[in-house]
Structure 1
Amino acid sequence: MASGFCENCLRLLREFTAHLRKVCREFEQKLRDFFRELCQCTCFGDTPERTTQELSLHLLCDAETQILDQGSLQALSRLATSENTDLQMTAALCYLHLSHHLKSPLPDAFMEPVMALLLSADLDVQKTILLSLVNLLVKNNVCKELVIEMGMLVPILELFQSGDGAAQCHSCACVTMLACSESNREAVMVDGIIPLLALAKSYDPQVQQNATWALLHLTQSDWSTRILCQAGAIPVLVLLLQSSDSVLQFYSCTALCNIAAVQEHHPKLLSIGGHFLLKSLLTLVSSSVRKNSTQACRCLQTLSKNVLIQEQLMELDCMLPLKALLKTSFPESAITLLSALSAHPPNNDVLVSEGLLDEIGQLLHRHRSSSVIITQSCKIIADLCSSCMGQQAVMESLCLSGLLQALVSPALSDETSLHVTSCLHHLMTWDPLKSNLLVTITSEQVARLVKLSGQTQNPQLSYNSAAIISKLETTGEMVQLLRPHYLNMLDYLLVFLKNKDVKFQQLGIVTIFNLKKDAEFSSLLADSELEVQLRKVHAQTEETRRLLLPVIQPPSPSSVNS
């Protein structure tokens, strides 16, 4: 954006700014020196504690909060250990100011006054120093292990029982930050779980949020997750899924997802009667809050690795909310869960009868460049077309045309193209689907298949594409689509015949046999390098057959009788 000033004005303004900063630094230094010298004078030996408060504020709360010397430490210690709560509050406010502006680690010695302030008899002082500690922990200005070693966890946990919402929130936030360190989790678990679970059931939404946030962090370790489950965390977290607070829903759902990742916890997850957990998660799938809906699907997907849970999900008519989610602008989580369900064959007839393939076909047409949607769609189509009912549903849907359109998407990666070509090749093993593809495929899609067939960096992608081409009829309109690419096809077929992998050689031979039905291809093949290589393969095959003949000859009758 233009400044509106000429170069000369800009230069003058920069010089003025630099000069002003220099003057301010000099004045600040003189002010520091003045107060330090004044403080050391014996005249102040018997001053009231309020004077000490004011001097400490001047010394500690400068613009950059960098005065962390011995004098400052002594002043803070005097204030923190004073019996005057006003002076204690002054020290707590100094730490709060430091916590907002400090840009470097706080020296370990400055943690001693923090401990004294946490033990204050004044709740406001405790809340203020707790908030300061939260800020310092968030910014990594203090060592988490040092907080535990100094015994600060005990007064922090005691504030869980204070009955004050702000104190409980700050203490929960402290515990959460301390639990982020693997080495601290054991200390937090010993005394912290039961109070945290109690606070998670608080009537104060902010307290609930902080407590659930702390519980979520404790589910990031297998060991602490096991202790949590033993302490009864699962029913509390499941109940929070029903909360009207979207933040609480997200925290509890994420914690349950972490718990569900360990299969040993599944019996406890399912022990809540009436399929309460699965019903709650399916309700959350329909949430208007995207991250909650996505997380609920993710949790269900993790749980669906358990076959029993899959069966229960199907009984609960999970298709209804999942199909609705497929129609939204963020269908990725739903289709990933449906892909997991379709991988279990007993579910397939229900998924087909519920019209899942119709939804998948429409989805492919709406999201032509989404790798997640295309990849998971390919998996679902391949799984569901294993039955006659599924094959018929594929033909009646937009799945085939959707896959062919995805094939020519410019944004498609090789990995996603591999899934598309694999699925198309799989579909062409059934004659009705093959016939459907033959009347649907376009010149652009044929060109794409030829290009991918000649792509040597990904052999499997090359093989899949060439395998589809090998099944295309060389009659009528299809020949007209293939003819412009004959020269390129000669190139990749030559590579196939030279490949040491027999499956590539065989595919090359099958393709040549099919294409020779067209006289134009036969004329290009005649006396070409490809034909020379074809004769070499034939000779090698004959030699291999000759060498194997005595090895595989059936035994004589006399040897059998003996």
Structure 2
Amino acid sequence: MGMLVPMLEMFQSGDATAQCHSCACVTMLASSESNREAVMVDGVIPLLALAKSYDPKVQQNATWALLHLTQSDWSTRILCEAGAIPVLVLLLQSSDSKVQFHSCTALCNIAAHQEHHPKLLSMGGHFLLKSLLTLMSSTVQKEVLVSEGLLDEIGQLLHRHRSSPVIITHSCKIITDLCSSCMGQQAVMESLCLSGLLCALLSPALSDEILLHVTSHLHHLMTWGPVKSNLSLTITSEQVSRLVKLSGQIQNPQLSYNSVAIICKLEMTEETTQLLRPHYVAMMNYLLVFLKNKDVKFQQLGIVTIFSLKKDGHFSSLLADSELEVQLRKVHAQTEETRRLLQMIQPLSPSSVNP
């Protein structure tokens, strides 16, 4: 009926209400595949212009329309050629959750086609990755990122670029943020994300700073039971060896702590025990260092790790009458003495603390 042209003309009216309503009408047209071609001919550039409007309602409808135009390969290609990617990436930083949602979902559809990856990654300063990280802390619903396979893409990136500090650092943050839901945890386990992070540990090119980043996130991920079980089943002997080696990095206490914490959280199944047994002597050496550390958190992690390893009779036999067991008794004696001294002090009443 020729309604599209006057609708598009209203985009330039300068009236936010008229722009908002006409944009909503164009969105409805774009949702139909039979009308999408007509919208693509004259509507892409005006929609991109409205997406940069200062009016949040106009932005919402414009990004909604752009989202509909990413539903097919050919329309997505035209959008990208018209410069949609920079606009959508900038809109990820919008304060409006609907604008964030529409633009992020549109980018997710674009990222599903490998031909567009160079354009997505060509923005300077890793702007797309940084914008996605910013988005993770916003109020926008994130389940669509999981259902659209973002974690699958990240897992593959980690395997292809296991020596890239930038990719590893940003991937760690995204994986951890998306793992906050049961759906996200399941998606992480079904993807290559965990194996990708474990493989990154084996890269000789990574600095201690990046290794510290990876081990911190792996340790955090293992606080979720299903992820912990999955990682315990998939970890390899080479990766266990690497964690044991990193555990002995006394010159980098936090890296050592993180590596021991990961080992401590592994489920002591028969398979895991077989992987750990060749390293018991080395592990006893660094556990001794932990027990001698004045920092209580190191002592506590050492004790918990010893308790976990004692489930294997082979470790228990090595522990008997060893220097590690002697130090364990000393820590126990010191703790008992501290407890006795504390019992001598009556708890202060609230009134005496805050007269």
Distance 1:328 1:315 in 2: 19
Matches within 5 A, 1:44-63: none
SS state of the match for residue 258, structure 2? helix
| Residue of structure 2 equivalent to 1:468 | 262
Instruction: Please say if residues 341 and 347 of structure 1, whose CA atoms lie closer than 8 Å, have aligned partners that are also in contact.
Output: no
Instruction: Please say if residues 339 and 377 of structure 1, whose CA atoms lie closer than 8 Å, have aligned partners that are also in contact.
Output: no
| Residue of structure 1 equivalent to 2:117 | 328
Is 1:342 the counterpart of 2:140? The answer is no
| Residue of structure 2 equivalent to 1:270 | 54
- Give the direction of change, closer, same or farther, for the CA distance of 1:442–1:314 in structure 2 (3 Å limit): same
Structure 2 runs not aligned, ≥5 long: 1-44, 46-51, 71-75, 350-355
Aligned residue among 287, 296, 303 for 1:502: 296
Distance 1:293 1:370 in 2: 28
Higher relative contact order (CA 8 A, sep 6+): 2
Aligned residue among 205, 208, 233 for 1:414: 208
| Residue of structure 2 equivalent to 1:427 | 221
1:504-557 superposed Cα distances (whole Å, 9 cap, x missing partner): 1110000011111222222222222222221111111111111112436698xx
Q: Shift in Å at residue 351 of structure 1? A: 1.6
- Give the direction of change, closer, same or farther, for the CA distance of 1:366–1:298 in structure 2 (3 Å limit): farther
Matches within 5 A, 1:147-186: none
Moved over 4 A (4+): 276-279, 286-289, 303-306, 322-327, 329-333, 552-555
- Give the direction of change, closer, same or farther, for the CA distance of 1:546–1:323 in structure 2 (3 Å limit): farther
Instruction: Please say if residues 111 and 117 of structure 2, whose CA atoms lie closer than 8 Å, have aligned partners that are also in contact.
Output: no
Aligned residue among 293, 303, 307 for 2:95: 307
Instruction: Please say if residues 297 and 334 of structure 1, whose CA atoms lie closer than 8 Å, have aligned partners that are also in contact.
Output: no
1:185-226 superposed Cα distances (whole Å, 9 cap, x missing partner): xxxxxxxxxxxxxxxxxxxxxxxxxxxxxxxxxxxxxxxxxx
| Residue of structure 2 equivalent to 1:401 | 195
Distance 2:313 2:80 in 1: 62
| Residue of structure 2 equivalent to 1:75 | none
Instruction: Please say if residues 243 and 260 of structure 2, whose CA atoms lie closer than 8 Å, have aligned partners that are also in contact.
Output: yes
> Taking structure 2 as the reference length, what is the TM-score of the superposition?
0.69
Structure 1 runs not aligned, ≥5 long: 1-241, 243-267, 556-562
SS state of the match for residue 548, structure 1? helix
Distance 1:297 1:543 in 2: 65
- Give the direction of change, closer, same or farther, for the CA distance of 1:299–1:458 in structure 2 (3 Å limit): farther
Q: Shift in Å at residue 323 of structure 1? A: 4.8
SS state of the match for residue 335, structure 2? helix
The amino acid across from 2:306 in the alignment is: I
Distance 1:269 1:552 in 2: 66
Distance 2:212 2:323 in 1: 29
- Give the direction of change, closer, same or farther, for the CA distance of 1:552–1:488 in structure 2 (3 Å limit): farther
Aligned residue among 156, 178, 183 for 1:389: 183
Distance 1:297 1:323 in 2: 18
After TM superposition, the structure 1 stretch with the greater mean CA deviation from structure 2, 320-329 or 350-359, is 320-329
Q: Shift in Å at residue 320 of structure 1? A: 2.1
> Taking structure 1 as the reference length, what is the TM-score of the superposition?
0.45
Instruction: Please say if residues 361 and 399 of structure 1, whose CA atoms lie closer than 8 Å, have aligned partners that are also in contact.
Output: yes
Q: Shift in Å at residue 325 of structure 1? A: 6.6
Alignment RMSD (CA, Å): 3.5
Q: Shift in Å at residue 326 of structure 1? A: 9.7
Is 1:452 the counterpart of 2:230? The answer is no
Distance 2:84 2:210 in 1: 25
| Residue of structure 2 equivalent to 1:370 | 164
Instruction: Please say if residues 201 and 214 of structure 2, whose CA atoms lie closer than 8 Å, have aligned partners that are also in contact.
Output: yes
Distance 2:84 2:324 in 1: 56
Distance 1:404 1:326 in 2: 29
Matches within 5 A, 1:244-255: none
SS state of the match for residue 311, structure 2? coil
Is 1:539 the counterpart of 2:326? The answer is no
Q: Shift in Å at residue 459 of structure 1? A: 2.2
Distance 2:84 2:204 in 1: 30
| Residue of structure 2 equivalent to 1:529 | 323
The amino acid across from 1:486 in the alignment is: Y
Distance 2:333 2:116 in 1: 58
- Give the direction of change, closer, same or farther, for the CA distance of 1:353–1:498 in structure 2 (3 Å limit): same
SS state of the match for residue 238, structure 2? helix
1:164-195 superposed Cα distances (whole Å, 9 cap, x missing partner): xxxxxxxxxxxxxxxxxxxxxxxxxxxxxxxx
- Give the direction of change, closer, same or farther, for the CA distance of 1:431–1:273 in structure 2 (3 Å limit): closer
- Give the direction of change, closer, same or farther, for the CA distance of 1:353–1:298 in structure 2 (3 Å limit): closer
SS state of the match for residue 485, structure 1? helix
The amino acid across from 1:544 in the alignment is: T
Larger Rg over CA atoms: 1
Instruction: Please say if residues 368 and 374 of structure 1, whose CA atoms lie closer than 8 Å, have aligned partners that are also in contact.
Output: yes
Counting aligned pairs with the same residue, the percent is 64
Is 1:492 the counterpart of 2:294? The answer is no
